[in-house]
Amino acid sequence: MKDISLVKLMPKEPRVPFINMRVVAAILSVIALIASVFLFTTRGLNYGIDFTGGTVIELDFGQETDLELVRTAVGEMGFDGATFQGITPPLEANKNYEFIRVGIPLQPETEETGGSEAQQIALRTIEAGLTEKVGKFEVYSQDVVGSKVSGELRTKGMLAVGLALLMVLAYIWFRFEWQFGLGAVIALFHDVLLTIGVFSLTQIEFNLSIIAAILTIVGYSLNDTVIVYDRIRENLRKYKTKPLPEVLNLSINDTLSRTILTSLTTLLALVALYILGGAGLRGFSFAMIWGVFVGTYSSIFVASPLLLLLKLKRGVNTGNAEAKA
Amino acid sequence: MLFFSKWKITFILGAVLLGLFFALPNALSPEMREKMPAPFQRTLNLGLDLQGGAHMLLEVDLSSVLAQALDNEREAIRQEFREADRLRTEFIRVNEEGDAVVGRLRNAEDMPKALELLRKLSVAVDPTSLSTDKTTKVEQEGEKGFKVTITDANIESIQARTIAQSIEVLRKRIDPQGTTEMTLAREGDDRILLQVPGAKNVGEIKDRINKTANLSFHMVRKESGSEAAMRLAAEGKLPPGAIFVLNQDDPGGLILEKRTKITGECLKSSSEGLHPTANYPIVNFSFNITCAKIFGKLTSENLGQRFAVVLDNEIITAPRINGAITGGSGYIEGSFTIESARELSLLLNAGALPAKLIIVEERTVSAELGKDSIDAGKTASIIGLIGVGFFMWLSYGFRFGTVANIALTTNIVLIAGALSLMGATLTLPGIAGIILTIGMAVDANVLIFERIREEAHLGRPPVNAIETGYRRSLAPILDANITTLIAAVTLYFVGSGPVRGFAVTLAIGIVMSVFTAVVVARLITSTWLRRTRPKTLPI
């Protein structure tokens, strides 16, 4: 019984001179990083109410309703900076649903309204006003976040990313030479910054689930980097006389088919999620798709060449790895 | 790496089967599920974002409770000093910072006696425990001054009590019949997490949270005409011991006697009803024995005068006393509808909240949106699974592709089993975690297969290549997955709400994917090797 794979996706021994492209890659990365920081500082992120506080309600009027009518009605109630969006849920298009999403910015919380009560008061005003001026509706979903909670979520989010980076650094440090640890973490910063950059560029809502996505990107990108690093360590032992750039290049090529296959399956799942997973997960899956690209790129073009820059010494790092291999 | 002892095989198959059984109830109809043995009846808990419901974070206004505690302390000190002979003070009051009761004695020689009395008032926070924490700390300030602060231990105990009591009251208010599967739990220092699944009447729930339902009966002062009262109150010229309270429905208000012994705690029960003659909605109430006596005395001594029923600082009604009410029961008439009468009696039965509650976060998802999310998640998972599975066949051929896909399927089953067993909650981000796992889980198998390919290419015979492939890929697999696990665990501990659900499924997915790739897939491969003893590798 002959059983041969339909396609050999990769040549058996790819020999792409990745390391030789390091200067181009470095220039590209630095430009992208500068652009990200620039975008982030000038344009900022489109924070969701998780981080800004405020109210978002999705309303189902049971019939197609004019968005302008809602806009005018809410405007008359005096909510400045409110946002409006007509949504038809995916897969439900034939049912002729008209969902309208109304976003109300954080209302000032004065002594009088008492803490976060202001948001609840705004919500009641909107609901009563819309019923009167537009018509009866069902609430599809509503989120109300006070300033105290949004502040906490902001702190927690930053803490989570920072903490994850630190812990991961500690682990790599423990398992590899310090150059690997530093290289991996620089690559991670690269990925996180570029992700923030792309969110600033596209102005896609940045909320709690994006923080989750960033942490997952950290995990994924590191996964990739560690696989390459592991092979570099192994090849350093195997080819004691080969110059370092060649060993790096060989290792990247050795693991290339795995890198590409895993990226492809992950992308497959994520694209399915992006297209079919509903509006609630679209931002998350977008971030992850981007993260898979950036993470794969960074482990090949950032994390590995960094070892050259950090002057990885040979022969020191054979100790504990030998036993595990 | 390729040899498995009999007991090891049994163990692995046992673990997979167990996972399958734990996952099974999710696929069964409720009727069939009931016939399963008890440990296998658990299913995935759906988060509120999937089944629909209201999630609210309530902040308890503890500052008012602590202020009240200080007030009580001051009253207690005054009383104690009054009862002690010749102990005279210049003042006893709560200080400007609002964190202590301060006072000054007339005569410095009274100090030892005063301190003794103050220390007597400081009792154990929890008499039933071994800890020696006292309720207050007494300090002497200068020759004549003293300062009494509430200890941290006592503050903590007051907070805990306030929150426990609030939770109790909320439970009775929101779920008087005890039929809803809702969650009420303390969160952090001063918050309560309320989760009500499938809530259709969020507005009603919020109304019940917002009302403190502080009921009290006060005598109305004689000089209290509405307009005159307003003027007096505006000028701040209220006589001592009097308060001005606004009417609930009509404009204006009345001046009332501040002190009262008839409060919400007097209530034995209340119910909505109809007025015996006029037939409009009223709220019936009955007092406990102690209060019934007090109320009887009060009404018989004040015939012809008015008393006011005050709820949350508003006068509901202020009837004239036409005869002594000695039975301890009566009714409140206001401008009630049947609904509002029912609502009020429910609130009164549940009791007053010890402090005001503020909704600091609310997330409500309709059952419809929840169902849409589940459907979308299902479609995305199935398409993702088929895509990845097909892709594995394409890359590794029928034989090894099948091994990888069995591992992948086992992985999903085990995730479902583990989540059901743990009673973990599946949230929308949790579904994302599972779909992501579908994509990433094959990674371990890809690593192994690529390595086997490589080793075979180096000229190793099949068994040797597979053996070496498994051995050499173990370290990178562990390294790579532990790092992702670290990220997931961090997310769990720092994240909140639905994001935690994501962290849980991601973490379980990682662990299970390593198990299925490194153990289950290896077992399958080794069994196949032993059966067929292939000359070349179909990879």
Residue A140 near residue A58, CB atoms below 8 Å = yes
Give just the sign of the alpha carbon dihedral B388, B389, B395, B401. positive
Interface contacts A/B by beta carbons within 8 Å: 268
Residue A273 to residue B365, Cβ atoms within 8 A: no
- The CA distance from A101 to A88, in Å, is 10
Which of B449, B410, B421, B439 lies closest to B506 in space, CA to CA? B439
A311 pLDDT higher than 90? no
Residue B365 to residue A141, Cβ atoms within 8 A: yes
Window from A138-147, B184-193, B277-286, B496-505 with minimum mean pLDDT: B496-505
- Look up the pTM and report it: 0.81
Contacts of B381 in chain A (CB under 8 A): 272
Q: What is the pLDDT of residue A294?
A: 95
Residue A277 to residue B435, Cβ atoms within 8 A: yes
- The CA distance from A293 to A290, in Å, is 5
B462 pLDDT higher than 70? yes
The confidence band for A111, taking pLDDT boundaries of 50, 70 and 90, is low
Q: Which residue is closest to A148 within chain B, CA to CA?
A: B360
Domain ranges of chain B: 6-51+367-532, 63-150, 214-339
What's the CATH code, domain B63-150?
3.90.1070
Q: What is the pLDDT of residue B27?
A: 77
- The CA distance from B21 to B41, in Å, is 9
Burial code (b: 16+ CB inside 10 Å, e: under 16) for B181-207 equals: ebebebeeebbbbbbbbbbeebeebbe
C-alpha pair distances (Å), A77 with each of A73, A102, A130, A132, A266: 7, 13, 9, 12, 47
Q: What is the pLDDT of residue A106?
A: 86
Residue B56 bridge partners (DSSP)? B194, B362
Q: Order of strands, edge to edge, in the sheet holding B329-332?
A: B267-274, B281-287, B329-332
Q: What is the pLDDT of residue B140?
A: 87
How many C-beta atoms surround the C-beta of residue B246 within 10 A?
A: 15
B426 pLDDT higher than 70? yes
C-alpha pair distances (Å), B286 with each of A131, A145, B93, B264, B304: 40, 41, 37, 11, 22
Q: What is the pLDDT of residue A187?
A: 92
Q: What is the pLDDT of residue A38?
A: 96
Q: What percentage of chain B carries pLDDT values higher than 90? A: 8
Contacts of A322 in chain B (CB under 8 A): none
Distance from CA of A269 to the nearest CA of B (A): 4
Residue B376 to residue A222, Cβ atoms within 8 A: no
Token readout for A229 is 């690093």
Residue A78 near residue A138, CB atoms below 8 Å = no
pLDDT digits (tens, 9 = 90+) for B296-334: 888 888 888 888 889 888 888 888 888 888 888 888 888
Contacts of B474 in chain A (CB under 8 A): 324
Distance from CA of B309 to the nearest CA of A (A): 26
Angle in degrees, CA A161, A163, A168, rounded to 5: 95
Domains of chain A: 19-47+150-324 (1.20.1640.10), 54-145 (3.30.70.3220)
Q: What is the pLDDT of residue A89?
A: 52
Q: Hey, of A52, A223, A233, A296, which one would you mutate to test binding to chain B, going by the most B CBs within 10 A of its CB? A: A223
Please state which architecture CATH assigns to domain B6-51+367-532. Answer: Up-down Bundle (1.20)
Contacts of A58 in chain B (CB under 8 A): 369
Q: Greater confidence, B7 or A298?
A: A298
The confidence band for B226, taking pLDDT boundaries of 50, 70 and 90, is low
Q: How buried is A96 (Cβ within 10 angstroms: 0-12 exposed, 13-18 middle, 19+ buried)?
A: exposed
Among A145, A175, A255, beta carbon nearest to B361: A145
With a CB cutoff of 8 Å and minimum separation 6, the contacts of B490 are A160, A163, A164, A167, A215
Q: Hey, of B55, B382, B395, B403, which one would you mutate to test binding to chain A, going by the most A CBs within 10 A of its CB? A: B395
- What average pLDDT score do residues B238-255 get? 80
pLDDT digits (tens, 9 = 90+) for A119-169: 888 888 888 888 888 888 888 888 998 888 888 888 888 888 888 888 888
Q: What is the pLDDT of residue A2?
A: 36
Residue B384 to residue A156, Cβ atoms within 8 A: no
Distance from CA of B475 to the nearest CA of A (A): 6
The confidence band for B258, taking pLDDT boundaries of 50, 70 and 90, is confident
Instruction: Name the E strands within B17-97.
Output: 45-46, 53-60, 89-94
Q: What is the pLDDT of residue A323?
A: 39
% helix / strand / coil in chain B, to the nearest 5?
55, 20, 25
Which of the 8 DSSP states describes residue B220?
B
pLDDT digits (tens, 9 = 90+) for B387-424: 999 999 988 888 888 988 999 999 999 998 888 888 88
Residue B394 near residue A6, CB atoms below 8 Å = yes
Which of B450, B437, B448, B427 lies closest to B384 in space, CA to CA? B437
- The CA distance from B93 to B75, in Å, is 9
Token readout for B294 is 């007090």
Q: Which residue is closest to B369 within chain A, CA to CA?
A: A140
Among A5, A215, A265, beta carbon nearest to B487: A215
A30 pLDDT higher than 90? yes
What's the CATH code, domain B214-339?
3.30.1360.200
A262 pLDDT higher than 80? yes
With a CB cutoff of 8 Å and minimum separation 6, the contacts of A135 are A61, A65
Angle in degrees, CA B151, B154, B159, rounded to 5: 125
Q: What is the pLDDT of residue A195?
A: 95
Which of B68, B116, B69, B71 lies closest to B92 in space, CA to CA? B71
Window from A44-48, A69-73, B410-414, B444-448 with minimum mean pLDDT: A69-73
Among A7, A160, A321, beta carbon nearest to B494: A160
B98: region left, alpha or beta (phi > 0 left; psi from -120 to 50 alpha)? left
Token readout for B33 is 């599920």
Residue A262 to residue B440, Cβ atoms within 8 A: yes
Q: What is the pLDDT of residue B479?
A: 86
Token readout for B285 is 């109430």
Instruction: Name the E strands within chain A.
Output: 54-60, 83-87, 99-105, 138-145
Q: What is the ipTM of this complex?
A: 0.83
B272 pLDDT higher than 50? yes
Which of A130, A145, A144, A125 lies closest to A59 in space, CA to CA? A130
Distance from CA of A312 to the nearest CA of B (A): 20
Q: Which residue is closest to B399 within chain A, CA to CA?
A: A3
Which of B449, B447, B364, B453 lies closest to B402 in space, CA to CA? B449
Helix (H) or strand (E) holding B243: strand B242-247
